[in-house]
Chains A and B, each alone.
Chain A
């Protein structure tokens, strides 16, 4: 037994002494092997699907790492920013629905101008009456109630009219009909804009309040997307978004493609979907590299040094004359923009926008697990975390099922416990993720690829 321990410590020591680059390449190689195993044992189509989602997860994790790793900001509203990116994909790529614009466009715009007016008057009154106690509250609430009611007086009929236009197929205003890849930039900008407002509101708060505030705001965003049918079709979803890559069916009909597949002796259907996925992989990889390059450059620049100084000692940084809140706002907006881009990419990959699919567990907490396990403060760590965690999030289910089937194989096939366990095996991945997070925090708080000392 003691021999084994000795061996273990030798290996551990050896790993520690390994140069960073070698260790990182080793970890990357292991990840590649895992994907390859899926390719060989399950299917290459699945492996590429996994890879694409890994890439998107990695970009989201990078966005969070910019906020958490660089500046120590706990953003628990990742879901909201990702969804805004998704919204951008819809608003940019879908063709406008002219009939809907004609039916309710005017009423809607008029109603919204009243809404904007209300907000500004509330702000004005709130600031003007800062010393008049309860009068301040009552007048503000009065303006708010009257303003909201007036707004809804105009918007309600307008939205009803819009939603009535060919309800089964559209029932919303549609988008601008531009190429969908353009929406990635717009998604980033949209997320950045909203992040700016949220940051203004909540960045002065204690760090755990920031988490709660962003979590709450992201829920509000999702509610908005879910229930404002005139904008997003709500729970009816927007399907069939245009693609930046060829369609499988078109490929299959190309003569040259049929020829190539027949010479290689592979199925046309499989090959076409593989090619499509590989195209996505190429584009996503390019975006990922661009984001990494951008954030690594920023991190090495004086800007990055200042951010880390603020993170490590806010008081000292303030004393040196750094405007901490302004820097935090910058970093919050930047990180959220990256998340927005990834959100738009995700919807592009799916080809549909499904507001109900945005769950905090999947979009906020899972991304957090990626960043922490990868190694907060290290971009390569975030990327690796994105890959590893997404891989296990997907593969934990079949593996868990297999494990439970294996462990209970001694029982009668109709044993209630066995049936119960097999039926609920899906929930083991929640437990696994939680355990992985807790164990990492406890025993390796710096993650797989710790932040480099600079």
Chain B
């Protein structure tokens, strides 16, 4: 009995807790990507850098607040700086749309042109971000470290394996839940949200219904930017902020969006968690779990892991490729292939 509880604690500590946090971050990112895809019909590669930009502004404001002595301990100061970060990301996106993307919309450019343009945008924003904040790693989480400490858990339960929940993980999951619920409520319950879905489904008919396309595009950018800033900040709180990371984060985010079905908001959420949990499940070493369940060394000396932890990031690409192979429209059949 205690063996199985211990192995459960192991799985919870190393897979479920981090999986929910990472999954929430990916889901928020993928939701932004899917939003732009649904409304503007292109794959926005610059999304990762928009996340980075929003997080950067949040960090700078956090430092400023810290200097002023403003704090909301035990919560991290970044939470009250986040609205400014969201505002900054929204301004950036609206500016980008005005200066860059609107031109290609008028031209009715094809999706590859958009893709290349968004890569150019990715360069520029990435460069600006690094130029402003520098390329270094930054830890800006000044709140309480843990909600639940491993030692406390052990003392509470008497198990030999602990379960720790970082406060950043709890904050991530909670805020992701609130944000996602808000977005879904907006899309399915409000007239404006429905008009966005209508525009995404059939733009010409939306015009014939009197829906203002500029307003839909405006809202899509606002929501995307908001999601991006939140996702970037939460990722930075949880793992620490480093501009280069966001270039690599774009791929798991796209993987999540595609696995779920691009253009489908529900798909983006599910995709985020599928990617996050697969990464952890496939690269977790089950040696200790097996030892608790079956006894030490029954299954040999191996680490009992399917892929070495080195390949953690690669798992998302493998899943992406597999999904593209067997069901290119994703789990929730997105817009089209």
Contact = CB atoms under 8 A, between A and B. Distances in A.
Nearest to B308: A227
Interface string A206-247: 111101110111011001101100000000000000000000
A361 interface: yes
Contacts of A437: 116, 119-120, 123
B247 interface: yes
Contacts of A435: 120, 124
Given A209-B258, A211-B115, A372-B116, A360 B130 contact: no
B297 interface: no
B122 interface: yes
Given A201-B321, A201-B325, A431 B308 contact: no
A216 B124 contact: no
A431 B49 CA distance: 13
Contacts of B317: 216-217, 219-220
Given A201-B324, A211-B43, A216-B321, A206 B337 contact: yes
B303 to A, nearest CB: 8
B68 interface: no
Contacts of A20: none
A438 interface: yes
A208 B337 CA distance: 9
A340 B115 CA distance: 24
A209 B125 CA distance: 23
Interface residues of B, number: 52
Interface string B293-304: 000000010101
B328 A441 contact: no
Contact of A226 (B100, B123, B310, B316): B310
A239 to B, nearest CB: 22
Name B's interface SS. helix
Contacts of B254: 212
Contact of B119 (A145, A148, A368): A368
Contacts of B308: 227
B313 interface: yes
Contact of A423 (B100, B117, B122, B134): B134
A361 B300 CA distance: 43
Interface stretch (A149-157, A175-183, A319-327): A149-157
Contact of B302 (A153, A208, A215, A227): A153
A279 interface: no
Contact of B320 (A72, A211, A213, A441): A213
Interface in A252-290: none
Contacts of B266: none
A434 B310 contact: no
Contacts of B304: 149
B42 interface: yes
Contacts of A430: 123-124, 126-127, 130
B177 interface: no
Interface string B320-334: 110011001000000
B146 interface: no
B131 A152 contact: no
Contacts of B134: 423-424
A430 B320 CA distance: 28
Contacts of A148: 306-307
Contact of A227 (B43, B100, B124, B311): B311
Contact of B124 (A360, A361, A365, A434): A434
Given A212-B43, A223-B314, A428-B127, A74 B115 contact: yes
B127 A209 contact: no
- Name the interface size band of chain A: 35 or more
B128 interface: yes
B178 interface: no
B283 to A, nearest CB: 12
A438 B328 contact: no
A149 B100 CA distance: 50
Among B128, B254, B255, B317, residue most surrounded by chain A Cβ atoms (within 10 Å): B317
Interface in A358-393: 360-361, 365, 368, 372
Contact of B306 (A149, A224, A226, A365): A149
Contacts of A442: 100, 103
Among A207, A208, A211, A361, residue most surrounded by chain B Cβ atoms (within 10 Å): A208
B208 interface: no
B112 interface: yes
A220 B258 CA distance: 17
A360 B247 contact: yes
B130 A424 contact: yes
A74 B112 contact: yes
B115 A223 contact: no
A433 interface: yes
A207 B337 CA distance: 9
Interface string B96-112: 00001001000000111
B113 interface: yes
A421 to B, nearest CB: 8
B318 interface: yes
Contact of A219 (B113, B124, B313, B324): B313
Among B119, B134, B337, residue most surrounded by chain A Cβ atoms (within 10 Å): B119
A153 B306 CA distance: 10
B34 to A, nearest CB: 13
A431 B324 contact: no
Interface string B233-250: 000000000000001000
Interface in B243-276: 247, 251, 254-255, 258
Contacts of B158: none
A135 interface: no
A24 interface: no
Given A223-B310, A430-B126, A434-B122, 17 more contacts: A74-B116, A205-B328, A206-B328, A212-B43, A213-B320, A213-B324, A216-B320, A220-B317, A361-B123, A361-B247, A368-B116, A372-B116, A424-B134, A427-B135, A434-B127, A438-B120, A441-B120
Closest 9 pairs between A and B when the two form their complex, measured CB to CB: A434-B123, A430-B127, A431-B127, A216-B317, A434-B124, A437-B120, A227-B310, A427-B130, A438-B120
Interface of B: 42-43, 100, 103, 110-117, 119-128, 130-132, 134-135, 247, 251, 254-255, 258, 300, 302, 304, 306-308, 310-311, 313-314, 316-318, 320-321, 324-325, 328, 336-337
11 contacts: A216-B316, A220-B314, A220-B321, A365-B119, A427-B131, A428-B127, A429-B127, A430-B126, A434-B126, A437-B120, A438-B117
